[in-house]
Structure 1
Amino acid sequence: MRRTSVSRKIFVICNTAFLLTMALLCLLPLVNLFAISLSGKSAANSGAVTFWPIDFTLLAYEKTFQNNNFIRSLVISFLRTGLGTVLSMFLITTAGYALSKDFRGRTQLMWFFVFTMLFGGGLIPTYLVNSALGLKNNFLVYVLPGAFSCYNLILIMNFFRSIPKSLEEAALIDG
């Protein structure tokens, strides 16, 4: 068993103390926000709440969940995340697998994707394209524009390239 030096122990202690302090500094505002949300209106407005609720009440949460716009926004967020993730994974894995193989024009096609990653169209052309495609005032405007990420394509393509040919051949033979 290797012995640790005194300087190493001091470094570990100081590093741990620093990281715990930073974690606490990140968490304390969230604890304060949660305590304010559980406090009464007068205590919250006066600024008396620190890390423990004063005049405990769930009225803020009751009003929030009674608001139909909040529930609708929450459902849209979940749908957008779920549908966007599934669609993006489907598009990127199929394109990444195809681009990991050797075929004529693969380099030019890859440069086309990289070019779109480096030079975006801009806000107004994106709006015009979305309007022309009928995505204006449509739920799919949240999902389709971000469905294909060139950065993720490069990651998936390199993953497929890292799979040995012998493993692919064995999978084809075994079924």
Structure 2
Amino acid sequence: MTILTVADQPVFFPSVPISPELDGYIYLAQALCEGEFGANRLLEQQSRVDTITIYSAGWFGYLPLAPVVSVSLVEVRRGVDSWSRSIGLPEWMPLAGGAYSITPDSGRVQISVPADEARITYMAGFDFTQPVLEVQKIKAIAGLVLSHMATKNPGLDSLSVNPATGDATSHNYAKLDDYLKTILLPLKRYIPRSL
């Protein structure tokens, strides 16, 4: 699923006429939004299984991706005993729903049992068909990027558009102009946390 579609043109990039190249600009805008100068990750919803460190001061940790849409399984294990002696990592133990909580916006995981690690199966990201505020903000940023690329020199070393498919390919993101870097800056809040 792309962040923008042709149907978004009147709202998010009205200065760009519908043309054969538009799909290519949509894909390139998404590539920039999800690339190293933006979120540095796919923004659409995706299923994940991540193992995170649980901090003993409060029994919490953070998932690498947010927002968290749903959680299907939380498992924990503890590698030390009550005297902090290493006992090796045992098998994963599933937790019941009441034994953990997850803050969707931040991906913070709070558990109610001592553990060193948690393995969480979850869905994270955005549904770009929903008219929620955060999705609208991301679409607005992608629309600005698309408008800038379609109407001005985007600051890329080379941009090739396949006339048969309309797909656009950039051959160098390193030379983005300052305007595009500024537009993409708010997407950095979605950069994945390190595990």
Q: Could you say which structure has the higher helix fraction? A: 1
Q: Which has the higher contact order (CA 8 A, sep 6+)?
A: 2
Give the shorter-chain TM-score range.
under 0.3
Q: Could you say which structure has the higher strand fraction? A: 2
Larger CA Rg, structure 1 vs 2? 1
